Amino acid sequence: MQKITPFLWFNGKAGEAAKFYTSIFKNSKIESISPMSATFQLDGVKFMALNGGPQFKFTEAISFFVSCGTQKEIDYFWEKLSAGGKKSKCGWLKDKFGVSWQIVPPILGELLNDENEEKSQRVMQAMLKMDKIDIKTLKQAYAKK
């Protein structure tokens, strides 16, 4: 049993959000949808959603980090999750429900945490110029002499 479950508050769109998210992520399914709530899994992780009303809004203070091993995977999640939403900087986006996502390859963390500060700073500067993360550009910044 999953010990911690993300619980999302929507303004009447919990079921629509569950259908949207499960259409994007593999190994996903809707467990239940009712007028008040939805329960679903994304890549095997359980989520709960409530149709709680307009009192609370999503902010960037909470986001979901999607680890993508390839550029193709980054491109896929970037386009699918941002459809109807808003693309931002450094791999961040808001989906059409206002939920924030980070679409990031593990190599970004590896390059940013390199012991060679000059290399990691070049990667940081390259990333700060990006909206969607581009692995090839990050690697070029890292290898630059």
> What is d(CA 23, CA 29) in angstroms, rounded to the nearest whole number?
9
Beta strand ranges found along the chain (DSSP E): 7-10, 29-33, 37-42, 45-51, 63-67, 86-87, 92-94, 100-104
133 and 112, same structural domain? yes
Q: What secondary structure letter does DSSP report for 100?
A: E
Q: How many domains does the chain have?
A: 2
Dihedral sign for Cα atoms in the order 134, 137, 141, 142: positive
pLDDT band of residue 145 (cuts 50, 70, 90) is confident
**If DSSP codes are grouped into helix, strand and coil, which group holds residue 66?**
strand
For residue 80, the domain's CATH number is 3.10.180.10
126 and 96, same structural domain? yes
> What is d(CA 136, CA 139) in angstroms, rounded to the nearest whole number?
5
pLDDT in tens, 115-135: 999 999 999 999 999 999 999
74 and 31, same structural domain? no
85 and 30, same structural domain? no
Query: Domain range spanning residue 16?
Result: 1-53
Which of 51, 33, 31 has the alpha carbon at shortest distance from 41?
31
**If DSSP codes are grouped into helix, strand and coil, which group holds residue 76?**
helix
Residue with tokens 């808001």: 94
- What is the value of pTM for the model shown? 0.94
pLDDT in tens, 20-54: 999 999 999 999 999 999 999 999 999 999 999 99
35 and 103, same structural domain? no
pLDDT in tens, 54-106: 999 999 999 999 999 999 999 999 999 999 999 999 999 999 999 999 999 99
> What is d(CA 123, CA 83) in angstroms, rounded to the nearest whole number?
28
> What is d(CA 102, CA 133) in angstroms, rounded to the nearest whole number?
10
72 and 48, same structural domain? no
What single letter denotes the amino acid at residue 1? M
pLDDT band of residue 9 (cuts 50, 70, 90) is very high
pLDDT in tens, 64-76: 999 999 999 999 9
Asked if 115 contacts 123 with a C-beta cutoff of 8 angstroms, the reply is no
